[in-house]
Structure 1
Amino acid sequence: MTIAVCPGSFDPITLGHVDVVRRARSMFDEVVVGVATNSGKSALLDVDARVELARTALAGLDGVRVERVAGLLADFLRVNGANAVVKGLRGGADFDAELPMALMNRHLAGVETVFVVGDPALAHIASSLVKDVARYGGDIDDLVPPGVADAVRAAVGRKDGR
């Protein structure tokens, strides 16, 4: 059985993420979506909320499960018996950011990274942009799976003291 891990902070999960997971599932028997904490970022949504939103967004996809990554991705890969890491790319900047991580995961866990080119219709969607649009009261409903926009708007309101 081939198992791929699709890791990310998913803060929040977007339609671009769902697209990459759906296409990864067509290549692997199972896809484990690993919701991680990025020490270099300040998350809007806590990790438990991100896990639940991802589970809801991906509930209709057979062979996909969502788990929290508590430590090193390399350890998570080993525990889950992963054959590959899957990462979506929107452009060259994404590749430049992902390449060192792919090499480190191969070094630490012996697992290769497969890059999936994102759907051009979704290439403008990034979690950071979704949060920025929401902070300024813009409509994000068509950028994220159902239910996610409400969670983001609520979190933005809490962070802004509203």
Structure 2
Amino acid sequence: MRRAVFPGTFDPITLGHIDIINRALPLFDELIIAIGVNADKRTMFSLEERIAFIEKSFEGNFKVKIKSYSGLTAKFCVAEKAQFIVRGLRNTTDLNYEQPIAQTNYKLAKIESVFLICSPEVSNISSTIVRDVMRNDGDFSSLVPASVKQ
């Protein structure tokens, strides 16, 4: 079974995340959306809210599993018997950030990273931008799935 992990904070899940997930699904038998929990990082949404946003977005899709984890992503992948990590790239800055992480994950656990280039229409979206728009009462409806709009 080809199993992949798509790790992130997903605070909140955005249309950029949805784009990468939908494009990754045909490549794998199972895709674990892995919500990283970092006690030092303050999030806008609780873990339960983030899980609910993702569950609603992929309701009925049995290839998608949602789990939370803390610690090293490579260790989580080994525990879940996942052979791949999926990452979305918006630009070269993302690539420069992701490349050494991917190389380290391979060195630690022989986990391959699969990079998918975001679709142009969502390449400007990041959770950081979405949170800033939300905090400042801006219209974020074109940046997130319906589950977050509610």
Aligned partner of 2:85 in structure 1 is 85
Amino acid at match of 1:127: S
Distance 2:47 2:123 in 1: 24
Distance 1:82 1:49 in 2: 25
TM-score (norm 2): 0.93
SS in 2 for 1:113: strand
Amino acid at match of 1:9: T
Amino acid at match of 2:133: V
SS in 2 for 1:147: helix
Between the two proteins, the alignment pairs up a number of residues equal to 150
Aligned partner of 1:24 in structure 2 is 24
Contact map agreement 1:141 1:149 (CA 8 A) in 2: yes
Contact map agreement 2:54 2:147 (CA 8 A) in 1: no
Aligned partner of 1:3 in structure 2 is 3
Aligned partner of 2:95 in structure 1 is 95
Structure 2 gap ranges (5+): none
TM-score (norm 1): 0.86
Aligned partner of 1:122 in structure 2 is 122
Distance 2:101 2:2 in 1: 21
- Relative distance call for 1:111 and 1:56 in structure 2 (3 A) is same
Higher RCO, 1 vs 2 (CA within 8 Å, ≥6 residues apart):
2
CA RMSD of superposed structures (Å):
1.5
SS in 1 for 2:27: coil
Distance 2:41 2:129 in 1: 14
1:43-82 aligned within 5 A: 43-82=43-82
Contact map agreement 1:33 1:64 (CA 8 A) in 2: yes
Aligned partner of 2:133 in structure 1 is 133
When structure 1 is superposed on structure 2, of 38-47 and 116-125 the one drifting more is 38-47
